[in-house]
Structure 1
């Protein structure tokens, strides 16, 4: 992804009729909402330019500079558009301070997404000429047909022998659709169930074949088709795997069911102490902060590999530590050297990430490890290998 040079940006800025340009004087008032809608529309690239769209901040509608003070805080605010979880799948974009015609402005370059449609708060935004708005049913069909099968992520590839009978269609209608699609959009459209399944990437081939995503999110038994799509939990009364097992569970079902049941297990074993003596108000403590455990667990499900492995997610609770093992090593731009650094994230399963966000299991993309590290400090460490990533949390020190 190569950004535009100054000459190209200047030409785009001067073309007042271009459908690849959005201009804003500042980020005040309703501008943040409008900028996100524009980013979503450029990611969808309804016109099929196959080239980036650009949002200029600090420019009037007529192309004249607004003489905006382009601060680092403004650039950070704009960069948050990628990871704040409102546009899914997360857009590919670059935020820069650029000087054009002797005037500074903030420039957001947005590349078309590989697996449209992208949605902002459950709505599909597109552009027709210099105007933008919500996608019609025909627009949405065009975007759905444009998805590239050969280059698609594994999580939206269809499974040839699976059928709609392998999906929980009641769950799709009552749980997933209301979470993933805005209520007014859902009420207004007249699509068939097959069209809705295809539009949300739960199926392919005209709504007939479940995708990996469909089986993971609304499948009746995902592990029948993806052997590693389950979770193994062990509570071990000791400090190594040869010690007696105090509790164990193999957890099957849709990804969200596995997350809920695993978190219930962790909460049960996370015994709390309550202190009354010597304090004005009772204080409660837990062995491991549950908020941090939730972030690490959900990260494991979102980023693990479901392809080419029969390994489950493994959670081992020892007397002195807790380990979470996730199949699949670093992916994309994430490496062992930059793993966990703020702002460095990539998605092996971008559509599963979108689904977990819609269902409320992910609030902000790219923040899970940072939140866990803030809560756990030096107690948290990672082992990063080509085939797996393991998070180890040391137990409480009693020194």
Structure 2
């Protein structure tokens, strides 16, 4: 935290008419047990009050909030032979990044403790959660109504609401964010005054008011509309989407093209998709009268899979962002984070996203399909182009989607044929139809005189438990996916 912001923050805290549930004033009381309970209580209270941080300020008289100075020295205080901050950290669950700061406040020595609001679960000290009620610090379990309210707040808390940049002037905010693109993509007229611009940015949770008349840029605002992601912390900058093209089948082959994203997702998305499309090999297609070149992969499939990687990634995994890799025979799109839905159920399950605000705003900007239709469109496009079935798989702490270049049925592996059969049955089912031998033959490009080949694939998919007869009593009724 900058010295200027620290002083502005203390001014703001001291001007409050009374202590709040997330602010505590002390003079010299440095009891370690008390501080531990306060960290738990204030962290939980800050989340209840929708505050990103809570504060304890030493050197302030409780009655009139006058700055009188303190003798408390957290950096030199020991508790059971350990430094105070280490002793506290070992007794707090989950771990939170609290921070003591020595402050020269107009010549008066103060100590400020900054406490992040609870993010994933109630913060406990020595296996007990506390909360702030008035000037009291009771156990949270003794107040079930507050515990219930806290869990409701925690469930809706998301990475998007975090702070990407703090204590900026209005000019600095507008210099870092492409606000004109925001208005253009959301279909809103650009206001003719600064207040109108900030009102809209606040309404979409892209920026927040800070102390001292300054501003914060939220993670959501930075990741979508940053002119340069590198202007923000590494946790934001490393979320830039990367593209790498290889000259062969593996990552050991020569890198022919590389592009590291510099812009926020919203303003860089279309350019990235166009860049990939421009590098993509073309196949010659001969129609009834003309020859034409078609891209190796359907544009809608690439667009949807890239959008899904952006929306569904786990933003809390640091040092990793979405990655698009092009090989001579396939396109791989990887995003960090375990899936919230098993890959084989991507088509039929209602979509779940860790980043609801990000997903909602990208849909408003028409950068991705309406909720629940993106994967459908990928499967439809792949079948229309008679490509091998896409593969969705979990690899470590990441999800990888793979699009394969055109290949004849004879060149597909047995696993690919069975996967194509399952995906075809699922796509038919969600559109109110049933897979049959004839429809699978068409999907796989099998000539009618070789329909027995489709029957073999169906038997293999049945054996694998991926499909089942729609009506066992009527074999010609077709097949449905195992979950139908």
TM-score interval, smaller chain: 0.5 to 0.7
Partner of 2:242: 232
Partner of 2:261: 251
Q: Following the alignment from structure 2 to structure 1, what is the Cα–Cα distance between the partners of residues 285 and 219?
A: 48
Deviation at 1:156, TM superposition (A): 1.9
Q: Following the alignment from structure 1 to structure 2, what is the Cα–Cα distance between the partners of residues 169 and 314?
A: 24
Matches within 5 A, 1:341-360: 341-360=347-366
Task: Map Cα deviations across residues 339-363 of structure 1 (whole Å, 9 max, x no partner).
Answer: x132421121111112212222023
Deviation at 1:325, TM superposition (A): 0.7
Higher helix proportion, which one? 2
* Change beyond 3 A, Cα 1:196–1:148: farther
State which of 152, 161, 164 in structure 2 corresponds to 1:156: 161
SS at match of 2:263: coil
Matches within 5 A, 1:209-288: 209-223=216-230, 224-225=232-233, 226-275=236-285, 279-288=288-297
State which of 188, 203, 208 in structure 1 corresponds to 2:215: 208
Alignment of 1:175 with 2:181, yes or no, is yes
Gaps in structure 2 of 5+ consecutive residues: 1-151, 412-484
The answer to whether the 8 Å contact 2:177/2:226 transfers is no
Matches within 5 A, 1:74-153: 151-153=156-158
Task: Map Cα deviations across residues 81-104 of structure 1 (whole Å, 9 max, x no partner).
Answer: xxxxxxxxxxxxxxxxxxxxxxxx
Deviation at 1:240, TM superposition (A): 1.0
Alignment of 1:194 with 2:201, yes or no, is no
Q: Following the alignment from structure 1 to structure 2, what is the Cα–Cα distance between the partners of residues 369 and 265?
A: 22
Deviation at 1:236, TM superposition (A): 0.9
Alignment coverage as a number of residue pairs? 246
The answer to whether the 8 Å contact 1:167/1:218 transfers is no
Task: Map Cα deviations across residues 241-262 of structure 1 (whole Å, 9 max, x no partner).
Answer: 1111122221221112332232
- After TM superposition, the score normalised by the length of structure 2 is 0.46
State which of 396, 406, 409 in structure 2 corresponds to 1:396: 406
- For the aligned residue pairs, the C-alpha RMSD in angstroms reads 3.1
Q: Following the alignment from structure 2 to structure 1, what is the Cα–Cα distance between the partners of residues 188 and 298?
A: 34
Question: Could you say which structure has the greater relative contact order, defined with CA pairs below 8 angstroms and 6 or more residues apart?
Answer: 1
Task: Map Cα deviations across residues 113-152 of structure 1 (whole Å, 9 max, x no partner).
Answer: xxxxxxxxxxxxxxxxxxxxxxxxxxxxxxxxxx958942
Q: Following the alignment from structure 2 to structure 1, what is the Cα–Cα distance between the partners of residues 178 and 262?
A: 16
Q: Following the alignment from structure 2 to structure 1, what is the Cα–Cα distance between the partners of residues 192 and 261?
A: 38
Q: Following the alignment from structure 1 to structure 2, what is the Cα–Cα distance between the partners of residues 246 and 187?
A: 44
Q: Following the alignment from structure 1 to structure 2, what is the Cα–Cα distance between the partners of residues 167 and 352?
A: 20
Q: Following the alignment from structure 2 to structure 1, what is the Cα–Cα distance between the partners of residues 205 and 364?
A: 13
Q: Following the alignment from structure 2 to structure 1, what is the Cα–Cα distance between the partners of residues 242 and 310?
A: 13
State which of 293, 301, 311 in structure 2 corresponds to 1:292: 301
Matches within 5 A, 1:327-346: 327-331=336-340, 334-336=341-343, 338=345, 340-346=346-352
Structure with bigger gyration radius: 2
- Of stretches 220-229 and 289-298 in structure 1, the one that deviates more from structure 2 is 220-229
Task: Map Cα deviations across residues 326-383 of structure 1 (whole Å, 9 max, x no partner).
Answer: 111213xx24553x13242112111111221222202311211111112224430111
Deviation at 1:192, TM superposition (A): 4.2
- After TM superposition, the score normalised by the length of structure 1 is 0.55
* Change beyond 3 A, Cα 1:284–1:178: closer
Partner of 2:111: none
Deviation at 1:386, TM superposition (A): 5.8
* Change beyond 3 A, Cα 1:256–1:182: closer
Q: Following the alignment from structure 1 to structure 2, what is the Cα–Cα distance between the partners of residues 188 and 167?
A: 14
* Change beyond 3 A, Cα 1:148–1:214: farther
Partner of 2:335: 326
The answer to whether the 8 Å contact 2:317/2:337 transfers is no
Deviation at 1:289, TM superposition (A): 0.9
The answer to whether the 8 Å contact 1:166/1:221 transfers is no
Partner of 1:382: 392
Deviation at 1:306, TM superposition (A): 2.1
Q: Following the alignment from structure 1 to structure 2, what is the Cα–Cα distance between the partners of residues 160 and 273?
A: 46
Deviation at 1:384, TM superposition (A): 2.0
